[in-house]
Structure 1
Amino acid sequence: MSRRRSVRALVVVYLKGIFMGAADAVPGVSGGTIALITGIYERLIAAITALDPRALRYLPRLHRRTGRAAFRDALVEMDIPFLMALGLGIATALVTVARLMAYAFETYPAYVAALFFGLIAASAVVLYEYVSLDTPRRVAVAVFGFVLAFVVSGPEVGSSFSNSPTIVFFAGTIAIAGMILPGISGAFFLYVLGQYEYLSNTLTTFTNRLAGLLSGGSVGGLVEPGIVIVAFGVGALIGLFSISYAIRWALANYRAATLTFLVSLMVGALRLPVTDVLDHTSNPNPTVIGTILVVAVLGGVLVLVVDRFTEDIEFS
């Protein structure tokens, strides 16, 4: 492949990463689904599973031409250029959408909750065809998933989760699953765990202060939000090689029960957006109620449109 074609291919991957990141930034459509639509899902999984820390053995020999060549070959073999371009696209979208959501949460909290209700509810409807309640064990799994999500998504529980780096780290390990698994969004887990708004605001604060360095801002201002972002990133990295693999194993070996559990989680978690809508609607006049319903429907339609384009792709 020529250098021009190689650069062009990476730019295309970057753009696909933007679409993945935008999907992962809101509860509903998963980045894994977008990866399926854009035809890079299998390559993404292959690249992730090809990562090999043994490539670091070439680092002490980078001052030699042979060492640099060997290291470059190892990176290409692991498809690191692809992962870097995709990751940069995802990061670009996350930063952009985080800014929009931080503003929306502050200005239109009830409408944001209504949008999330539509996104999550439609996702559960789309995945319902994979639900199986034909055995007592699967019924028990469904009830457990629903009750677990219903309890965790209660306002008294969600508000009890702190925003400490430890909790953020834990949230990162779970949220990453939505980025590589079709059907469920990583942002959904963050929303249920009460970390979504906090992380959106933190990411916006970090990028604002980072940009502020150009106008004489203090580096010290990056420390506090930076610790949160690093904690989430490390958690996501660990989750990528643990929880995500565990879920993929469960799908491979207990597909019906696992999907039933995931869909039950979504249905039970609908308690959270409903509660948020009620808490932030102080004047429930017909106009406000109508707007809330329209926003919820639009969220649901978005998920259904995405599903329309993936109906011929097998969920795996």
Structure 2
Amino acid sequence: MQSAETVESGERRPALVSLAVVYCKGLAMGAADAVPGVSGGTIAFITGIYERLIRAVTSLDPSVVLLLPSLRHERGRREVVAELRRMDVPFLVAVGMGMVTAVAILARLVQFALSTTPGPTFAFFFGLIGASAVALFERDWVRHSGPAGAALAGFSLAFLVAGETATGTFPHSLPVIFGAGLLAISGMVLPGISGAFILLLLGQYDYMTTTLNDFIDEFIAVIGGSSPDAFLEAALTVVVFMSGALVGLFTIAFAVRAALERYRMATLAFLVSLMLGALRYPAFRMMETTDGWTAPRVVVLAGALVAGLGAVLVLDYYTEDFGYDA
């Protein structure tokens, strides 16, 4: 939570400087959401923009498009600008651009890691997710029947879905991609659950990472004069995913926020337990992609797992906002 002094100093900053700061915070959120573990919502908490983000998202009014014809007149343009500022759209655009930039950069690094060292990469993911769940879990949840039942349900659901994902049950069809985008957007507004974690749970993480890189590469190639066929194929998948995310922003995210307001403890227990149950998937992939359990390989896997654990625990140790009580 920002102090009054911080808010006042922020208000005195020039608008472009403030948006640049927000963009950098969006970079941090995107970096978190690009890797299964700490969520962008948690980073928003840490950087002091979580409440503003939620207010801005819940203030979005699609009816603003009805004002577009008035852009032909100066008075109409002023009305549109005033409405966009009321909904804090410049703030959302700055955050969104930062997140997109970070995801685009990290997607290539993650794809390289998954293609060259899949075992250690999944071990790292296991450490990230496991440590995040442990850091966010509260013992009070198991002392009450409601939260305990919700925790058991969350763990069981994720464990079963992770098993189906590991056996390749979920295809990379457009309806599944749309649903993945719909669910993954919740990672932006929920501390604890990252969008990348949801994609990993649904078996779409590696596929969407590869597709995003193809989309960027083919776009550059089209600018250089290449055939647009490959670009259009990747673009279709990206557009379907983003369409699902847009729908999810006004449905899933709102529903979860409502659940948090009415059944806070049980909802949090369910969400965090999802992470514990989902550990089945990276564990399976880690074992599947490790060829021979020699001592050197075990050391590498253990090192990657500890690195994932350490990254989250260090973040938890040095920040007061890593949690749900802010």
**TM-score interval for Structure 1 and Structure 2 normalised by the shorter chain:** over 0.9
Partner residue in 1 for 2:152: 143
Q: 1:149-206: per-residue Cα shift (whole Å, max 9, x none)?
A: 1111115665111111110110111111111111121111110100000000000000
Quote the sequence identity (%).
47
In structure 2, what residue type is equivalent to 1:25? A
Partner residue in 2 for 1:109: 118
Counterpart CA distance in 2 for 1:2 and 1:23 is 27
The runs of 5 or more residues in structure 1 that have no matched partner are: none
1:38 to 35, 43, 47: 47
Q: 1:33-52: per-residue Cα shift (whole Å, max 9, x none)?
A: 11111111111111111111
For this pair of structures, how many residues does the alignment match?
316
TM alignment of 1:104-253, pairs within 5 A: 104-129=113-138, 132-154=141-163, 159-253=168-262
Structure 1 residues 2, 63: closer, same or farther in 2, change over 3 A? farther
CA contact (8 A) 1:118 1:297 kept: yes
Counterpart CA distance in 1 for 2:112 and 2:166 is 25
Secondary structure in structure 2 of the residue aligned to 1:154: helix
Partner residue in 1 for 2:84: 75
Q: 1:221-264: per-residue Cα shift (whole Å, max 9, x none)?
A: 22111111111111111111111111111122112211221222
Partner residue in 1 for 2:284: 275
CA contact (8 A) 1:168 1:231 kept: yes
Counterpart CA distance in 2 for 1:145 and 1:52 is 32
Partner residue in 2 for 1:92: 101
The runs of 5 or more residues in structure 2 that have no matched partner are: 1-9
Counterpart CA distance in 2 for 1:196 and 1:131 is 33
In structure 2, what residue type is equivalent to 1:257? A
CA contact (8 A) 2:42 2:323 kept: no
Secondary structure in structure 2 of the residue aligned to 1:283: coil
Task: Report the more deviating stretch, 263-272 or 83-92.
Answer: 263-272
TM-score (norm 1): 0.94
Structure 1 residues 68, 103: closer, same or farther in 2, change over 3 A? same
In structure 1, what residue type is equivalent to 2:87? M
Structure 1 residues 114, 45: closer, same or farther in 2, change over 3 A? same
Partner residue in 2 for 1:28: 37
Secondary structure in structure 1 of the residue aligned to 2:143: coil
TM-score (norm 2): 0.92
Q: Give the CA deviation at 1:121.
A: 0.6
Structure 1 residues 271, 133: closer, same or farther in 2, change over 3 A? same
